[in-house]
Structure 1
Amino acid sequence: MSKQLKLNTGVQITIADTPFASGAEGDLFDVMAPIAFLHAVVKVYKAAKQTPERQQKITYLVNHPPAGLVQQGVHNSVCWMTHIVYEQDQFVGFVMPKVAGVSLELLCQSRLKHPVLNDPVWQRFALTAPEGLQLRLKLCFNIAVALQHIHAQGCYTLVDMKPDNIIVQANGLVSIIDIDSIAVIDTAKNNNYPAIVITPEYAPPEYYRSIDLTHINHSWDNFSVAIIFYRLLCGIHPFMGTCHPPYDNHSETAQFIQDGLLPHGNSAQYFSVIPPPHNRFNQLDKGLQKLFLHCFDQGHLYPIFRPNVENWCVVLQKIMLNMSSPSIQIAKSYVSFNGYTNTAWTAPVQPIAHANKNVLKIIYSLTMLFMCFILVLAIISAIITINKNSVTQIIVAKPQIPYVALTHITQPAPVVTKKAINENEIHNCLVSGNCTNP
């Protein structure tokens, strides 16, 4: 049976009777009515999470959304809450846009193993695919732009930024979700709301130093997003491997992060075994390598060295503009910031025939062989035609008179012609004996 809820605007909505997804803090429901909300979902918190503090934070987030969250009127780069939801005048949750796609976590593996990724449109993103690296670079760019929209507000830090909280479409567009766990530090209005959830594998080293988590700044996200980019481009977490003593007992990713053990840069000397996927780091653009080292190496103790999302955009855009793949295009999808005017990189999904690949290869080979045969015949025919024309010209052509300067031409000698002699004259001459030279 469907359930009736009310929004902070007074609008009545109807949600499905059962959630389509559930988590530790709440459940997600499809909106059944009215029509204007069919492309939205409702998050209903567990009873223990429906606190006044939670309501105050959601109210602040609804009233202070970042600019440029919706592109082309349909795509949401950040699934920001739009309305507060009540049941019998009791706060229960919020409304947010509904997005389609798969979790970015599925693309962060060295090999795409999940069944949903067997479709050819997703196999293009494999690191071994011809355009795999290019498509992943564009995902990084789109993630950086989406995060910039949040940071541009000044008072927001995601904190729990990880691939599970990013949805990606086959065309490369991304959406950041689970925004309600964001940290809010608005000192001007005295509104400070700490982050609710933190994932250690994506938290910076200061997380392990017992710092005041109520004053987290953007450098935290800068560390987390760099880990996501490294996983996307290399297929492995940057802080992973086997070390020499005294770090030989490290087995958890969090331990490597805490001690700043990266298999590149200054700490590479401590590694006894470096997993093969890390070798992809050396194949990346030098600009990207520097950003990673600034973040994980120099930025381990000094967060100020960590590149921000704008630094990533500058380098990524430069790399992508040097690429000439026709299947990867720029779509005007993002509101401008610092020169990145309405820019999002997409990989249009082309219709793909689900034919047997071996059959296609055989057909292609036979076609190419036939074309080569036709080309050889055309060349032989042309050679024969040229040879025939050459022989004909040698036989019929008149001798060419060489060019001579007019000053070298002399007057020709007079031509002497003999007078014709008939038979009567010869007879008279012989009879009379009076013959003269004609």
Structure 2
Amino acid sequence: MSAARQVHGAGGQPHALGPELARGGEAVVHPLLGRPGELAKLYQVARPEMREKLEHMRAHPPDDPARAHGHASIAWPRELLFDARGAFVGYTMTRIVDAAPILDVFNPRRRAQLLPGFDRRYLLRTARNLASALSALHEAGYVVGDLNERNVLVTERTLVTLIDTDSFQVQRQKDGQIVVYPCPVGRAEYTPPELQGQTFRGLLRRPEHDGFGLAVLIFQLLMAGNHPFRGRWRGSGEPPSLEAKIAAGQFPWAAGPGADLAPPPGAPGLDQLDPDLAELFLACFADGHDRPAQRPSAEAWSEALEQAEARLAVCGQGHAFGGHLRRCPDCGGRAERR
């Protein structure tokens, strides 16, 4: 049996790598033998600017809102790694176990299989924890840039973790100037209208850009997995792409009866949401379409989600639903407690 490959910490201490866990276009992830709570991310080509970026991130971590629960809501870089010659090769990060991608949480069928006890209360709490993590990042001066369903993990306790933190946009002072390390990637489904079709490499992102992606994820969590810009096309010709609908601000839940795009058949209406949450979605996807500054902040989402959970009602079948509704949308039963 061959010896395990080794990398080294900044002080020269060796770390043995376990078998490869995941591989992407730029890096490979390994477990660290003897350190079950950590992973190593090793770059196939380790650029010098990445070392500078990670050193700054290590020295300036955000305040993690889940630290009191013994959980990392942001998989922050912990230690830089080097090869035997001292060349930078990657970094270590917290290993998150027993967690599912947020896609498995907002997709009703997957959620029923993996997390059958996740009701509306849990979905609201998941959304709030996500908003709180993003708010902490923004408060510390960071921008995710590529916020999407692939880089958010959720535990059965509704705790979330943002991963792939090395792609976050980072700013720092260097020789009296501000140096920006941009986020070079993005998913069109979570990209705001003003950035659709743009090249992300070198693009300066702002918190309101993250705010759009956050609102999409929260909408998917609370609206049975529906994307806010997908719907039933009723206009002439071929339906536009999702990217085109986002760019045009075609939010079907805010459209009138004669609009070209209607919500998907069977999709819940905004009236099933807590009224304050419905207003935030309208502020983001309608009012904020061409006025990004109007989009709700992550902090505003966190506060509204906490209040919406506190206002939930429960019917005789145990279904949690919005306290503003007279009857449970799942079974028609009346609220027995609030």
Partner of 2:228: 238
Cross-structure match for 1:22: 23
User: Which residue among 259, 275, 278 is the counterpart of 2:267?
Assistant: 278
Other-structure match for 2:41: 43
1:32 aligns to what? 33
Question: How many residues are treated as equivalent by the alignment?
Answer: 308
Q: CA deviation at 1:252?
A: 2.7
TM-score, normalised to structure 1's length? 0.66
Matching residue of 1:166: 152
How far apart are the structure 2 equivalents of 1:232 and 1:3?
41
2:298 aligned partner: 309
Counterpart for residue 333 of structure 2: none
* Residue correspondence of structure 1 range 207-286 to structure 2 within 5 A: 207-208=195-196, 210=198, 214-234=203-223, 235-245=225-235, 248-266=237-255, 269-286=258-275
2:113 alignment partner, one of 93, 105, 118: 118
Is residue 2:316 matched to residue 1:319? no
Letter in structure 2 aligned against 1:76: A
**Preserved CA contact (<8 Å) 1:62 1:83:** yes
SS in 2 for 1:215: coil
Q: CA deviation at 1:186?
A: 3.5
Shift in Å, 1:191: 2.3
1:208-262 superposed Cα distances (whole Å, 9 cap, x missing partner):
264885321100011000000000111210000233446x433432121111111
C-alpha distance in 2, partners of 1:82/1:69?
Answer: 17
AA of the residue aligned to 1:84: L
| Structure 1 position 151 matched with structure 2 position 151 | no
Q: CA deviation at 1:69?
A: 5.8
One-letter identity of the residue aligned with 1:90: A
1:181 alignment counterpart: 167
Task: Establish whether residue 93 from structure 1 lines up as the match of residue 93 from structure 2.
Answer: no
RMSD over equivalenced CA pairs, Å: 2.4
Is this contact kept in 1: 2:6–2:16, CA < 8 A? yes
Higher strand share: 2
Q: Secondary structure at the match of 1:191?
A: strand
Superposed, which structure 2 residues align to 1:386-401 within 5 Å? none
Alignment correspondent of 1:300: 289
- Which 5+ residue runs of structure 1 have no aligned equivalent? 126-131, 328-438
Deviation, 1:94, is 0.6
Q: Structure 2: 5+ residue runs without aligned partners?
A: 319-338
CA shift for structure 1 position 274: 2.7
* Larger helix percent: 1
| Max Rg structure | 1
Match of 1:83 among 70, 79, 83: 79
In the alignment, the residues of structure 2 paired with residue 70 and residue 97 of structure 1 have an alpha-carbon distance, to the nearest angstrom, of: 13
In structure 2, relative to structure 1, the CA distance for the partners of 1:169 and 1:272 (3 Å cut) is: closer
- TM-score, L = length of structure 2: 0.84
Partner of 2:70: 74
Structure 1 residue 108: Cα displacement: 1.9
CA drift of 1:43 comes to 0.4
The answer to whether the Cα contact below 8 Å between 1:185 and 1:215 also exists between their aligned partners in 2 is no
- Residue in 2 aligned with 1:137? 124
SS at match of 1:282: helix
1:98 maps to amino acid: R
- The CA distance in 1 between the partners of 2:146 and 2:25, in whole Å, is 15
Amino acid at match of 1:202: Y
Q: Distance in 1 between matches of 2:305 and 2:192?
A: 23
How far residue 196 of structure 1 moved from its aligned partner, in angstroms, is 2.3
How high is the sequence identity, in percent, across the aligned residues? 26
Instruction: Give the distance between the partners of 1:296 and 1:80, measured in 2 at CA.
Output: 30
In structure 2, relative to structure 1, the CA distance for the partners of 1:324 and 1:236 (3 Å cut) is: closer
In structure 2, the CA distance between the partners of 1:31 and 1:267, relative to structure 1 (3 Å rule), is: farther
Equivalent-residue separation in structure 2 for 1:249 and 1:43 (angstroms):
44
CA distance in 1, matches of 2:283, 2:313: 29
